[in-house]
Amino acid sequence: MNGDGEDTLLSAWGAHDVLTLTLNRPERRNAVDPVTLTALAEALRTEGRRAGAVILRGAGDEAFCAGYDLSRLTGTADDLQADHFIGDAVAAIRDCSAPVIARLTGHCHGAGVELALTCDLRVGSPTLRMSVPAVGLGVVYRYEFVARLVLMCGLARASTLLLAMRELDAVDADAWGLLSELSETTQIDGRVEALAEKLASSPRSAVHGTKTALNLLVARAVATDDLAQAQQIRAAAASSPERQQALMRRRKR
């Protein structure tokens, strides 16, 4: 819950033990904060054990997740503490034995892209807009995400998304291999639910085993030495004066 006592993550069960988790901060375009990310990780680790499949979505259709809540950032190295919460939620999606399907409409930026791309499948609508503008905020993005992105769409396209800070529409995201499929917004709920129920009705040992095999391949892309070096680079960038200025400019928009 947030400070107002409202649920920032909603949980609901459907047919065939399909669990739907909803990022519920529509006033912030479902931007995530430590409370929301912690709730997501806990739900996946507890309720996810029972689930045959999990649907991850944002409240409403305006946004899946606009990223990490900028009001939580200070422009100093202390902001790297956000890594703990983002990383924990990402690990929970990855480690959940049930496949996780992202329902993507509207805005999907920054940390929202990492959450979406960590899901096993992604169904997007034509309203989807996807970007990772971290460089413009003086941030070197999490190395684990960079490695996953390169595996998914290749080095050239990952560079375009991260360095050129290109915003992708749904057609481009699909062409880049970042979506499992496209669906009209009016039909996306039915399509996501049908996909989830199909997975939940399949032999769980095969579904779980296939997800585990795919995760093993992704894990090989992150070497321990590379991760340590990346963390040093990120820490230096996080405390730079240029980053503080960039964050101030962004907040004034």
**Full residue range of the structural domain in which residue 146 is found:** 9-200
pLDDT greater than 70 at residue 100: yes
Q: Where residue 229 falls among pLDDT bands split at 50, 70, 90?
A: confident
* Structure confidence by residue, pLDDT tens digits, 187-211: 999 999 999 999 999 999 999 999 9
pLDDT greater than 70 at residue 6: no
Over residues 151-173, the mean pLDDT reads 97
pLDDT greater than 70 at residue 92: yes
The pLDDT value recorded for residue 5 is 38
Tell me the C-alpha distance between 129 and 106, whole Å: 6
User: How many independent structural domains does the chain possess?
Assistant: 1
pLDDT greater than 90 at residue 40: yes
Residues 127, 187 contacting (CB under 8 angstroms): no
The pLDDT value recorded for residue 231 is 80
The pLDDT value recorded for residue 247 is 64
The pLDDT value recorded for residue 1 is 43
Q: Where residue 158 falls among pLDDT bands split at 50, 70, 90?
A: very high
Q: Is residue 252 assigned to a domain? A: no
Q: Is residue 4 assigned to a domain? A: no
* Structure confidence by residue, pLDDT tens digits, 113-143: 999 999 999 999 999 999 999 999 888 899 9
Q: Is residue 244 assigned to a domain? A: no
CATH code, domain carrying 170: 3.90.226.10
Q: Is residue 153 assigned to a domain? A: yes
Q: Is residue 13 assigned to a domain? A: yes
